[in-house]
Structure 1
């Protein structure tokens, strides 16, 4: 699940998930986590179409893919606003996968390309995310902007030299506990580096 908050095209080149479960006792206890899960990855995206994925765009019914916002091109899921005629109208969108997961690792690649749509919110420039542990889209109100969720916020750098870390924690409609402390701020920044342009 990920949200789109700007006109930027987001290319999810790979979208894989792995369940984190107890491994058989015969496994090498010294193996890295990558070695332990390498044979258990499940691809969530087939590289051809959006089979298994359902869009939910604010103001529209579940399954309505307004202006073909979510599409597959060149083996990647893309979020494109070329059909909006410059009028975004807060049409925040999310793409939900058919299978719920509760204990997993998620691996994906993404990048931002293109320019912000004319009437898009300034905070939404090069701003997207993966909404994990989120509300069932069938329970979302038609005009609801974001699902109740824990978000891995993906950001791109805007101004060279100005820090803008990615993989931040955002909590639309929720709160979290970190190290025994209740966190009520909407977003908590990570310590990642900043990625500029179309990295």
Structure 2
């Protein structure tokens, strides 16, 4: 009888040890899994290598996709430079776009830029110190030969003239609508709520945050504008082509930088994908 009791006690003790070990292992596994989920965060990635335009595609109005007329976009001294010194006496509406070659949906984009020099001869008056980040844009391959600007949204850049206020950060639409303060926009551009003007050739950091249909503009880390729910304009022929049947919701697109007729430099272009 005593032997049976001893054997039962050993079995019970062994089962308890196994059970406790399994619980501890499961607890440790869950803890490690939770810790992994908490520590894995999106990271900033440089999408401009400072050497060339690898990963980017140029489109200049009136020229085939990929043709860099007049060496408009060039990389020198680790800076992406947009210049017009080979355009001659007339600009001739040769607006340009340089696309990042990846379709994006939810992300944050950050660029450091500065305006330099003089506006190209023959450029429109609004071209003075004007450029921008275009996003939610149509695929580069769908931009027509003589299509000056892609269907897209834009974070507009303005540079000051030294005396007057000329705020940057407006949200501009081409072939799209947005919701601002609960209403669909009725004008092409909505100015930033926080007005910031930057004069001279100083470097400026511009960011856009795009997540779950909400878009926020920042300058030098300060929030200046927020809006949401972009949709395609079905009355725009190119925009209608991008729609999914009758669904006009914009779900993603391409990021690009404008070549609008005033020289501009970009020294950092960074992307964080959610």
Which TM-score bucket, shorter chain as reference?
A: 0.7 to 0.9
Determine helix, strand or coil for the equivalent of 2:92.
coil
**What per-residue deviation string (whole Å, max 9, x for no partner) do you get for residues 136-191 of structure 1?**
1211111011001000111101241x211112111122211123210121111112
Q: Which has the higher helix share?
A: 2
Q: Which structure has the greater CA radius of gyration? A: 2
Deviates further, 178-187 or 45-54: 178-187
How far apart are the structure 1 equivalents of 2:108 and 2:198? Answer: 22
The answer to whether 1:102 aligns with 2:105 is yes
TM score, norm. by length of structure 2: 0.58
Match of 1:26 in 2: 38
Q: 1:26 deviation in Å?
A: 2.3
Q: Which has the higher strand share?
A: 2
How far apart are the structure 1 equivalents of 2:68 and 2:186? Answer: 33
Match of 2:132 in 1: 129
Determine helix, strand or coil for the equivalent of 2:137.
coil
How far apart are the structure 2 equivalents of 1:140 and 1:26? Answer: 41
Match of 1:18 in 2: none
Q: How many residues align?
A: 167
Determine helix, strand or coil for the equivalent of 1:94.
strand
Q: 1:48 aligns with which of 44, 51, 70?
A: 51
**What per-residue deviation string (whole Å, max 9, x for no partner) do you get for residues 27-48 of structure 1?**
49xxxxxxx54xx111110000
How far apart are the structure 2 equivalents of 1:185 and 1:159? Answer: 28
The answer to whether 1:196 aligns with 2:199 is yes
TM score, norm. by length of structure 1: 0.79
8 Å Cα contact 2:174-2:188 kept in structure 1? yes
Deviating above 2 A after TM superposition, structure 1's stretches of 4 or more consecutive aligned residues are: 23-28
How far apart are the structure 2 equivalents of 1:25 and 1:177? Answer: 34
8 Å Cα contact 2:162-2:200 kept in structure 1? no
Q: 1:192 deviation in Å?
A: 3.4
How far apart are the structure 2 equivalents of 1:183 and 1:44? Answer: 32
Match of 1:177 in 2: 179
CA shift in 2, pair 1:159/1:140, >3 Å: same
How far apart are the structure 2 equivalents of 1:44 and 1:181? Answer: 34
Q: 1:24 deviation in Å?
A: 5.8
Gaps of 5+ in 2: 1-34, 203-274
8 Å Cα contact 1:70-1:80 kept in structure 2? yes
